[in-house]
Amino acid sequence: MSRNGNGVAAIIRRAPIADNWLLKGTPPLLSPTHLSFPFVLFHYSLSNTTTSPSSPPPPPPPTAAAVITNQVSESETLPRKRCNLGPNDDLQSALNSFNRMLQMRPLPHISHFNKALGTITKMGHYATALSLILNKLQQVQGILVDLYTFNIAINSCCRLNQVHFGFSLLGSLFKRGYTPAATTFNTLINGLILEDKTPQAVELFKKLITTREIEPDVVMYGTIVNGLCRTGNTIRAVSLLRIMEEGSCKPDTVVYSTIIDSLCKDRMVDDALKLFTEMDEKGIFPDVVTYNSLIHGLCNFGRWKEATKIFREMLDSGIAPNVRTYTVLVDACTKEGKMKEAEGVLEVMIQRGVDPDVVTLNTLMDGYCLQGHMDEAIRVFSNMVEKGLRPNIVSHNILIAGYCKKMKIDEAMHLFREMPRRGFKPNTQTFGAMLQGLFQLGRCGAAQKLFNEMQIVGIIPDSQTYGILLDGLCKNGHISKALSLFHMMERNGLDHDVVMYSILIDTFCKDKKLDSARVLFNNLSSKGLHPNVKTYNMMIHGLCEEGLLHEAKELFVKMEQSGCLPDGVTYNTIIRGFIGQHKCYEALILTEEMVERGFSADASTFPLIVDILSTKGQDPALQEVIKKFMHKDSHGMQEKE
């Protein structure tokens, strides 16, 4: 695997670039392709005029550099406030039309009412639709609601997380002598999945098949596939896909896309790509959703070159990127700290006639917060308001977390207290961000008070909240309090996940209590938990610190055997361990392996490797491996595109 195929010498040669990134804590060792990714993207999307038949004619194609450097005024950066009807006006006009129909005599056929209801549910106003059906249609003499109306009502219940009510409507449907359709059951199956009751959904699905009550169609299969994917059973979803292929109901774009997305989220991007190729072989056309999932998956793993290729392929197939595609690209840029490029994506999308939405701008804001540029984040927030997009609770949470990260707890607290006045009730994430901020400043008492307040106002802490508490207490030296919390959770039936254990393992390692860390680590499997890459990294770090290189190396080998691939942190940790023990040969071999896997030396490891190469270059024992680096690098450098 030589995505960033380079050697150690390349690290040195590219030090000015890498250094810059090292300081920001993001992956260094950028390949030339990596650096040019957003440029390629913009240039291509701007200069390609044949891709989006529905989009307005694109402006003359500027050069990539012009896209990045051209500063447009703020009013051009964001869509202007809409003069046409907003979403609420759309709802109002649908309601007006519904009410007008109720006044007509003779009354219109039920299908017309269903159509109006469908418009309302498509806008997401499920409670309104349900109320219209139950409180208006049912009360009017002369209207006979039909199967379609029932299905809309059942779907509305499901979308409101009231699947049980959906099932009682199914009862009423039977009583009225209607026969439910595949749609009816599928809606209920989906309702179960939405309420995290996938096992029941699968049960119902199986029952329908065995009783031959309903012949499942592709939508029903697709819904079950989605349920399996959402619950981490992507492999079972793939099995179902294979079963479909054997039967008469063939998988469609949605089924494939669902699995492709899930594989990407499960870090199995290569398998996702294989399915994508398979679609092509079977003549099933990918759509914008399929491409969005793949581009997102590839970007998440730094596979820019392939992401660009897929993006080009999408444009070549005549599929126009939508707001989600551009948001994924903004996200990819911001996660790499490339804010100018992220702003560039925003410009491109506007020029292409796609308006950024609140998610796009929140993503951009989050990028600025990650970089610590709160002034820029606030500028985006203000722009959002000016342009008629209403910031949501996520926008507020992003800013609060940003302030906390910058240790500006007063500003964070101000915004936090301001939220109810703006119509937002702080949620678990809001409290989590505030708690993290307080712990970071060592204000454990205030954090405790806020945690109590959270429970008083009825926000249920989730495992992440407990993780923040546990970590905060540990990092502030309140180990015994942390342990009490840990045991309290156990007593209250709150499951400890691997993160909780990892926090304690890390604490014990740093507290020189390696034996306690080992006990916790070794007991994980008895609790049915599997260490993740962070858990391994913490243990490996602890072992290296104690000079137990042999045990660290054993664990390093074992993690991969157990199916947990080492990441950049693992390599850097163990390489530093070896260098610390003057085992330069092993360190260089591991460095080579690290680079081959697309990771690179971080700010603390990098100078140590440079030191080995510059001071031990003549060491006969090392010459062979150093030569190998040099040789590889000459290839790596030719890879430029």
Partner DNA sequence: TTAGGGTTAG
Binding site for DNA (CB under 7 A): 110-111, 114-115, 118, 121-122, 146-148, 151-152, 155, 181-184, 186-187, 190, 217-223, 225-226, 251-255, 257-258, 261, 265, 286-290, 292-293, 296, 322-325, 327-328, 331, 357-360, 362-363, 366, 392-395, 397-398, 401, 427, 429-430
Min dist CB 74 to DNA, Å, is 21
Answer yes or no: are the C-beta atoms of 331 and 299 closer than 8 Å.
Answer: yes
Give residues with Cβ within 8 angstroms of 580, minimum separation 6.
Answer: 544, 547
Answer yes or no: are the C-beta atoms of 222 and 252 closer than 8 Å.
Answer: yes
Nearer residue to DNA within complex by CB, 393 or 569: 393
Rounded alpha-carbon distances, angstroms, from residue 532 to 152, 268, 524, 538, 637: 43, 16, 11, 10, 34
Nearer residue to DNA within complex by CB, 81 or 122: 122
Answer yes or no: are the C-beta atoms of 255 and 221 closer than 8 Å.
Answer: yes
Answer yes or no: are the C-beta atoms of 152 and 121 closer than 8 Å.
Answer: yes
Query: What DSSP character marks residue 358?
Result: H
Min dist CB 95 to DNA, Å, is 16
Rounded alpha-carbon distances, angstroms, from residue 3 to 13, 19, 170, 557: 18, 20, 54, 23
Min dist CB 605 to DNA, Å, is 27
Min dist CB 296 to DNA, Å, is 5
Using CA atoms, how far apart are residues 606 and 366, in angstroms rounded to an integer?
29
CB neighbourhood size of 377 (10 A): 24
Min dist CB 260 to DNA, Å, is 8
CB neighbourhood size of 11 (10 A): 23
Nearer residue to DNA within complex by CB, 408 or 510: 408
Query: What DSSP character marks residue 243?
Result: H
List the end-to-end C-alpha distance of the chain, in Å, as a whole number.
18
Min dist CB 27 to DNA, Å, is 16
Min dist CB 283 to DNA, Å, is 15
Nearer residue to DNA within complex by CB, 28 or 432: 432
Nearer residue to DNA within complex by CB, 191 or 598: 191
Q: Helix %, strand %, coil % for the chain, to 5?
A: 70, 0, 30
Min dist CB 597 to DNA, Å, is 24
Nearer residue to DNA within complex by CB, 284 or 574: 284
Q: DSSP per residue over 365-421, as a string? A: HHHHHHTT-HHHHHHHHHHHHHTTPPP-HHHHHHHHHHHHHTT-HHHHHHHHHHGGG
Min dist CB 116 to DNA, Å, is 9
Give residues with Cβ within 8 angstroms of 71, minimum separation 6.
Answer: none
Nearer residue to DNA within complex by CB, 162 or 363: 363
Query: What DSSP character marks residue 136?
Result: I
Rounded alpha-carbon distances, angstroms, from residue 489 to 133, 364, 475, 486, 497: 45, 37, 19, 5, 11
Min dist CB 495 to DNA, Å, is 21
Q: Which of 30, 559, 563, 562 is nearest to 573 (CA)?
A: 559
Min dist CB 1 to DNA, Å, is 25
Using CA atoms, how far apart are residues 568 and 533, in angstroms rounded to an integer?
10
Kind and range of the H or E element at 129? Answer: helix 126-131
Min dist CB 331 to DNA, Å, is 5
R_g over Cα of the chain: 28
Using CA atoms, how far apart are residues 439 and 442, in angstroms rounded to an integer?
5
Min dist CB 359 to DNA, Å, is 4
Using CA atoms, how far apart are residues 122 and 563, in angstroms rounded to an integer?
43
Min dist CB 259 to DNA, Å, is 9
Nearer residue to DNA within complex by CB, 201 or 544: 201
Using CA atoms, how far apart are residues 116 and 97, in angstroms rounded to an integer?
8
Return left, alpha or beta for 322; rule: phi > 0 is left, psi -120 to 50 is alpha, else beta. beta
Answer yes or no: are the C-beta atoms of 67 and 42 closer than 8 Å.
Answer: yes
Q: DSSP per residue over 535-603, as a string? A: HHHHHHHHHHHTT-HHHHHHHHHHHHHTT----HHHHHHHHHHHHHTT-HHHHHHHHHHHHHTT----T
Min dist CB 114 to DNA, Å, is 4
Number of H helices, E strands in the chain: 36, 0
Min dist CB 306 to DNA, Å, is 17
